[in-house]
A and B are shown apart, each in its own frame.
Chain A
Amino acid sequence: MTAEFVVFWILAVASVAGALAVVLPPFGRNPLHAAIALLITFTCLAGLMVLLSAHLVAVLQILVYAGAVMVLFTFVVMMLNLRRQDLAGFRITAWKVVGVIALVALSVKIGILLVAGLSGFDNVSASAPITNDFGGIRTVGRSLLTTYLVPFEATSLLLLVAIVGALIVARRRDGGAS
């Protein structure tokens, strides 16, 4: 057990626990508590990305998810000002039955992956050697601006569309001019 294993286990368990706290009703009933649990998951995943030598992506994970997305979530939760009766109540619906079936199916899939599918990936020496610059700004930025130039520009257009779309959807319709 090297230090990398210890760090991996801590981060993996914490990220799964945070995700479960978002999804399971006793913890995620209050959306603000769910947002805090989601923040734990995002932060732990950033640590796992560092373990995978993806340093730029890890920084972006903190900036975009733990920063911008979480601020959006908490802002909307406080802005909606949900009453207590909006958060209470738990019914067994058809969707919940479907969700449980999906959980069982995914567990079976994980088991199948464990047994057969991952046989080529469980050997550390099978992974390709990397240079020191792997995952840095230089290599990722170069592939973004050469191979992935068209998707990169399309992403900027998508963000513009998202800004305009969010403003139009969320505007106040009874407010007159705007």
Chain B
Amino acid sequence: MMDVPVSWYLILAVTLFGIGTVGVLTRRNLLVVLMSLEIMLNGVNLAILAFARHHGDAQGQAAVFIVMAVAAAEVAVGLALAIALFRHEGSVDLDRATRMKG
């Protein structure tokens, strides 16, 4: 029925989450930071689905559904912030966005 063990999926999920973390912490471009956040969320989704498959319980997939909706909302607001930042500073470089106001 299922040939690949669940632990392999979990290791892949942790790997994707780690790659996304490094991207969020190291990149300066706001757009790439948002993409790295998406990678982190996808890693978490994969882990939830692996556990749902392991326990044979489809409720975890409902949780993934909600995580996806939250991720879509986060991207919409984040890209709106990127546009506002670009209008204000002339770039999406996070190192230049040092002021809260003005």
Listed in ascending order, the chain A residues whose CB lies under 8 Å from chain B are 2, 4-5, 8, 12, 15-16, 19-20, 22-23, 25, 28, 31, 34-35, 38, 41-42, 45, 48-49, 51-54, 56-57, 60-61, 64-65, 68-69, 72-73, 76-77, 79-80, 82, 86-87, 93, 95-96, 98-100, 102-103, 106-107, 109-110, 113-114, 118, 121-124, 126-130, 134-135, 139-140, 143-144, 147-148, 151-152, 155, 158-159, 161-163, 165-167, 169-170, 172-173
Q: How far is the CA of A123 from the CA of B57 in the complex (A)?
A: 18
CB distance from B16 to the nearest CB of A (A): 6
- The interface residues of chain A lying within 8 Å CB-to-CB of B46 are 45, 48-49
Is the beta-carbon distance between B9 and A48 smaller than 8 angstroms?
yes
Instruction: For the complex of A and B, list the 6 residue pairs with the smallest distance between their C-beta atoms, beginning with the closest.
Output: A128-B56, A162-B73, A23-B23, A99-B26, A99-B25, A106-B18
Question: Chain B: how many interface residues by the 8 Å CB criterion?
Answer: 75
CB distance from A39 to the nearest CB of B (A): 10
- The interface residues of chain B lying within 8 Å CB-to-CB of A93 are 28, 95
Q: How far is the CA of A170 from the CA of B59 in the complex (A)?
A: 36
Q: How far is the CA of A106 from the CA of B23 in the complex (A)?
A: 13
Is the beta-carbon distance between B1 and A129 smaller than 8 angstroms?
yes
Listed in ascending order, the chain B residues whose CB lies under 8 Å from chain A are 1-12, 14-23, 25-29, 31-32, 34-36, 38-39, 42, 45-46, 49-50, 52-59, 61-66, 68-77, 79-84, 86-87, 91-93, 95
Is the beta-carbon distance between A143 and B54 smaller than 8 angstroms?
no
Number of A-B contacts (CB under 8 A): 251
User: What secondary structure prevails in chain A residues at the interface with B?
Assistant: helix
Choose one: B16, B72, B92; the contact of A15 (CB below 8 Å). Answer: B16
Question: Which of A2, A130, A172 has most B Cβ within 10 Å?
Answer: A130
Provide a sorted-by-A list of 5 A–B residue pairs whose CB atoms are within 8 angstroms.
A48-B46, A72-B79, A80-B82, A122-B7, A172-B87
